[in-house]
Amino acid sequence: MYDVAIIGAGPSGSWLASRLAERGHQVVVLEQKKGWGEPICCTGIVSQECVEHYAIEDSVIFRRANSARVFSPSGKLLRLWRPEPQACILDRPALNLSLARRAQEKGAEYRLNTPVRGIEVEDNAVSIKTGDGEGQVEAVKARAAVIATGFGSKLVEGLGLGKFGDAVAGAQAEVATNGVDEVEVYLGQQIAPAFFAWLVPTLPQRAIVGLLSRRRPGFYLKNLISSLKAQGKITSVETGLSYGGIPLRPPARSYSDRVVVVGTAAGQVKPTTGGGVYYGLLCADIAADNLGQALKNDALSARNLANYEKEWRERLGWELRIGYWARKFYERLSDGQVDRIFDIIKNNGIDEALLKSDDLTFDSHGKAVLKLIGYKALSRIVEIVKLPFPGRSDTSRKFDSFEEAAEKNERRKQESGPG
Ligand SMILES: Cc1cc2nc3c(=O)[nH]c(=O)nc-3n(C[C@H](O)[C@H](O)[C@H](O)COP(=O)(O)OP(=O)(O)OC[C@H]3O[C@@H](n4cnc5c(N)ncnc54)[C@H](O)[C@@H]3O)c2cc1C
């Protein structure tokens, strides 16, 4: 019997496999894909901090980025720029392979072409039903299971841990470009309803074009590709469209007896941008510490694993809640209001101020959101939208209401002078 069976060989599953294997646990990773080269619906932008923290190999990095061009619905441009690289664009299949290799070097076993159909929690073990599409082939036994299946698997729900509170759909394709070498972001209800679209350069003359959207991602992506072709930015589409999704709100729980859920399957994704690689890795570290201890003590009840959820929510809960609020706020804006916000940001130098401060980083947006809504020039739009601010139930930070948060922000602004 294995100590742990990890379902899903994405970044979260493989990083957790590494961390548990290096503690001497017997780990098996069960992955439904047949090979490492299969396309992944993920653009692969992560922060420079993520690359450094997890020592992501250079060979996996397409390029580094220190700027982005953000276009409003009517085409107004905001160029966000910092002197140092802020993000790295990764070859996503290569990242998965690289993290899996590291886990294998630590002793984890990998089984590809092994889709998991269900998990049964028994008194002293978990029994994991795997299948090959033509019926059940094997039950893998382990002392504990980790669900790291990303978006779209029913395993979490099947264990009664709940569903995503909200989610959006995504699509992307690889394209040849006419030398686009800055990340571009496009806003607008006609471009990507409720979210945004992007063109992200990878290799020279190549890019990934993609979007996340409330509805019909394929339809909107095809429209965007036509428009970018007409503008001369895209010359040809090199792959078919791939589809995915991201949760905007986590399921109710990320643990039960002998089971933990990690990564996108647990809703550990930024609702502001849809980025989930770094949050998944961070939470895999938290899971490794808690599950590792529980395995050592042979104390694998839900009660003993509850600290995992407490810790990751302490780390990310506030960001997820403010981020979700910001996402819903954006969703309520008309294209005209988004354009107006662009004008206000540019005319008041808000972009410059944010970029100079530490409030806006690639991975945490909560402070920048609070700062933005605290600006007097933007308060009229905030009032019109009338979206109640997150309440007190969060365990990590306490903001009673929008008013209180705005008040605190106002105070912070006064203390730190104009800006
Ligand atoms: C269009 C789009 C673009 C994105 N771009 C970015 C980006 O630029 N940067 C970023 O940080 N995030 C991005 N994301 C989000 C990112 O892809 C995920 O958050 C990230 O991959 C999560 O890693 P994970 O290991 O939790 O899950 P995943 O990477 O999804 O890995 C899950 C693995 O589990 C396997 N699996 C699923 N079900 C089963 C099963 N039943 N049995 C066996 N195996 C199974 C899957 O095949 C997969 O290999 C994007 C998402 C979308 C949809």
Domains with residue ranges and CATH for the chain: 2-39+47-63+89-164+251-316 (3.50.50.60), 166-246 (3.30.9.10), 321-415 (no CATH)
**Is-contact 367 282, C-beta < 8 A?**
no
Whether 359 shows a pLDDT value over 80: the answer reads no
Whether 296 shows a pLDDT value over 90: the answer reads yes
Q: What are the tokens at 95? A: 């990242």
Question: Quick one: pLDDT at residue 394?
Answer: 43
pLDDT class for 369, splitting at 50, 70, 90? confident
Q: What is the residue with the minimal CA distance to atom 16 of ligand 1?
A: 276
Report the Cα–Cα distance between both ends of the chain, in Å, rounded.
60
What is the average pLDDT across 330-358? Answer: 90
Residue 12 in contact with ligand 1 by CB distance below 6 A: yes
Q: How far is CA 277 from CA 35, 56, 89, 163, in A?
A: 20, 12, 12, 20
Whether 126 shows a pLDDT value over 80: the answer reads yes
Question: What is the rounded distance in angstroms from the CA atom of residue 310 to the CA atom of residue 327?
Answer: 24
Beta pairing partners, 139:
129
Question: Quick one: pLDDT at residue 402?
Answer: 33
Cα 151 to ligand 1 centroid, rounded to whole Å: 6
**Counts of helices then strands in the chain (DSSP H, E):** 12, 19
**Is-contact 5 21, C-beta < 8 A?**
no
Q: Which of 105-119, 237-251, 398-412 bottoms out in mean pLDDT, i.e. has the lowest?
A: 398-412
Question: What is the rounded distance in angstroms from the CA atom of residue 208 to the CA atom of residue 42?
Answer: 9
Q: What are the tokens at 253? A: 């729980």
Question: Quick one: pLDDT at residue 414?
Answer: 62
Q: Is the overall model pTM greater than 0.95, yes or no?
A: no
For tokens 């092994």, the residue is: 114
Question: Quick one: pLDDT at residue 411?
Answer: 61
Residue 95 in contact with ligand 1 by CB distance below 6 A: no
Q: What is the mean pLDDT of the chain?
A: 90
Burial of residue 376 (number of CB atoms within 10 Å: 0-12, 13-18, 19+): exposed
Residue 148 in contact with ligand 1 by CB distance below 6 A: yes
Q: What are the tokens at 183? A: 């990340």
What is the average pLDDT across 304-316? Answer: 94
pLDDT class for 374, splitting at 50, 70, 90? confident
Residue 267 in contact with ligand 1 by CB distance below 6 A: no
